[in-house]
């Protein structure tokens, strides 16, 4: 069994983009640093999107030069289009996360494109990134259900994943954007994806809207997936996907993985400090379920 799991904390992007309170650049950097200090292997630090569409993500470019390179963290940023790619590249981003769509309704609501237009642009971005030496992650959004078009055909997700892996993306992330999936659906789709492409380049991104986030992580683990997005203190949600609530909380996922014998490289004490900071900074982070139990347990363990 491969017992090492790579976690990307998407709180500074998926989390903060949807908060009523807009954090300053300094506050965003403090949160990112707290996550790096906790040993997160990946952190999605922000997005390069229209500041009119998502005011909370304005100024992501200014954060990039201030990220600590010494930490060994893989910092990534979300981009919706070629302009976002160019801004990210010029700011010094080394890993971009581009978005694909499993439904026309979501493509329209998020970026005012069709699925095919978004895929064509994604293919163009990929070819630029190859020249520029930038890593490319492709996330397939609404992979289980779309708030506009209803249930997603798993075949559409499998086709998109296969197509972009063949085109050469470094990673495909299956995103349950509104947190509608159940573990049975996750097991079935991830087993199919692993049999098509292997597990190495496959990641999953779950929201905890229906309290099945951790169960869905477990279902994907059972299929062999070893890369997960999660969000500190359960922050999260997409402003353009009605009903999307917070991501599965990083502290919940890490606690489950560590207790099952997986290795994450994450320090739980430091992770809870990052979670407390996320709650203080936003005032609205739901906080994971694990923290209430973990804090006294860690204190006792420390003696």
Which residues does the annotation mark as catalytic? Answer: 238
> Would you say the C-alpha torsion 30, 31, 34, 39 has a positive or negative sign?
negative
Nearer to Zn ion, 236 or 294 (CB): 236
Task: Based on the shown chain and the rule CB under 6 A, indicate whether residue 83 belongs to the binding site for ligand COA.
Answer: yes
**What residues make contact with Zn ion under the rule CB under 5 A?**
14
For the CB of residue 238, give the shortest distance to Zn ion in the complex, in Å.
6
Instruction: Report which residue's Cβ sits closest to ligand COA.
Output: 84
Instruction: Round to whole Å and give the CA distance between 256 and 262.
Output: 9
For the CB of residue 300, give the shortest distance to Zn ion in the complex, in Å.
34
Contact pick of 12, 39, 84, 213 for ligand COA (by CB under 6 A): 84
Cα 283 to Cα 16, 33, 273, 291: the distances in Å are 11, 19, 15, 16
Interaction partner, residue 110 (Zn ion, ligand COA, none; CB < 5-8 Å by kind): ligand COA
Interaction partner, residue 48 (ligand COA, Zn ion, none; CB < 5-8 Å by kind): ligand COA
Contact 153, 146 (CB under 8 A): no
Contact pick of 47, 60, 103, 282 for ligand COA (by CB under 6 A): 47
Task: Based on the shown chain and the rule CB under 6 A, indicate whether residue 203 belongs to the binding site for ligand COA.
Answer: no
Nearer to Zn ion, 14 or 268 (CB): 14
β 227-230/202-206 pair status: parallel
β 135-141/150-151 pair status: unpaired
Q: Which of residues 205-244 bind ligand COA (CB under 6 A)?
A: 238, 240
Task: Based on the shown chain and the rule CB under 6 A, indicate whether residue 8 belongs to the binding site for ligand COA.
Answer: no
74 C-beta neighbours (distance < 10 Å), count: 16
Instruction: Round to whole Å and give the CA distance between 89 and 58.
Output: 16
Contact pick of 98, 99, 129, 157 for ligand COA (by CB under 6 A): 99
Q: How far apart are the first and last CA of the chain?
A: 33
Task: Based on the shown chain and the rule CB under 6 A, indicate whether residue 179 belongs to the binding site for ligand COA.
Answer: no
Contact pick of 7, 31, 49, 98 for ligand COA (by CB under 6 A): 49
Nearer to Zn ion, 14 or 279 (CB): 14
Q: What is the DSSP letter of 13?
A: I
Q: Which of residues 239-268 bind ligand COA (CB under 6 A)?
A: 240
Task: Based on the shown chain and the rule CB under 6 A, indicate whether residue 120 belongs to the binding site for ligand COA.
Answer: no
**CA 265, 271, 277 angle in degrees (round to 5)?**
155
For the CB of residue 23, give the shortest distance to ligand COA in the complex, in Å.
16
Instruction: Round to whole Å and give the CA distance between 225 and 217.
Output: 9
For the CB of residue 97, give the shortest distance to ligand COA in the complex, in Å.
9
Residue located via tokens 């069709």: 114
| Helices of type H across the chain | 25-37, 60-63, 82-91, 104-111, 115-132, 154-167, 183-197, 213-223, 250-259, 268-282, 291-302
For the CB of residue 230, give the shortest distance to Zn ion in the complex, in Å.
10
Which residues make up the interface to ligand COA (CB under 6 A)?
17, 47-50, 53-54, 78, 80-81, 83-84, 87, 99, 110-112, 238, 240
């Amino acid at each position: 069994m491969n017992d090492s799991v790579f976690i990307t904390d998407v709180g500074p992007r998926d989390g903060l983009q949807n908060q009523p309170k807009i954090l300053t650049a300094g506050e965003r950097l403090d949160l990112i640093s707290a996550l790096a200090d906790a040993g997160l292997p990946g952190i999605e630090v922000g997005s390069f999107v229209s500041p009119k569409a998502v005011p909370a993500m304005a100024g992501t470019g200014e954060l990039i030069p201030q990220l600590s390179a010494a930490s060994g963290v893989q910092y990534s940023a979300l981009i919706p289009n070629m302009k976002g790619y160019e801004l990210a590249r010029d700011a010094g981003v080394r890993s971009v996360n581009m978005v694909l769509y499993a439904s026309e309704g979501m493509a329209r609501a998020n970026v005012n494109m069709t699925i095919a237009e978004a895929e064509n642009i994604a293919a163009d971005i990929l070819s630029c990134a190859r020249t520029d030496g930038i890593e490319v992650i492709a996330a397939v959004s609404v992979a289980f259900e779309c708030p506009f078009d209803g249930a997603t055909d798993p075949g559409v997700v499998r086709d998109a994943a296969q197509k972009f892996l063949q085109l050469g993306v470094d990673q495909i992330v299956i995103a349950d954007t509104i947190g509608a999936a159940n573990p049975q659906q996750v097991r079935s789709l991830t087993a199919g994806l692993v049999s098509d492409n292997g597990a190495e380049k496959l990641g999953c991104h779950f929201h905890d809207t229906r309290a099945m986030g951790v169960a869905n992580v477990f279902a994907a683990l059972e299929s062999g997936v070893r890369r997960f997005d999660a969000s500190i203190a359960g922050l999260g949600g997409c402003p353009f996907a009605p009903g999307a609530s917070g991501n599965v909380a990083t502290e919940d996922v890490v606690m489950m993985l560590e207790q099952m014998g997986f290795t994450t490289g994450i320090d739980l004490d430091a992770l809870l400090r990052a979670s407390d900071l996320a709650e203080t900074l936003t005032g609205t982070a739901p906080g994971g379920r694990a923290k209430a139990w973990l804090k006294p347990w860690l204190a006792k363990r420390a003696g």
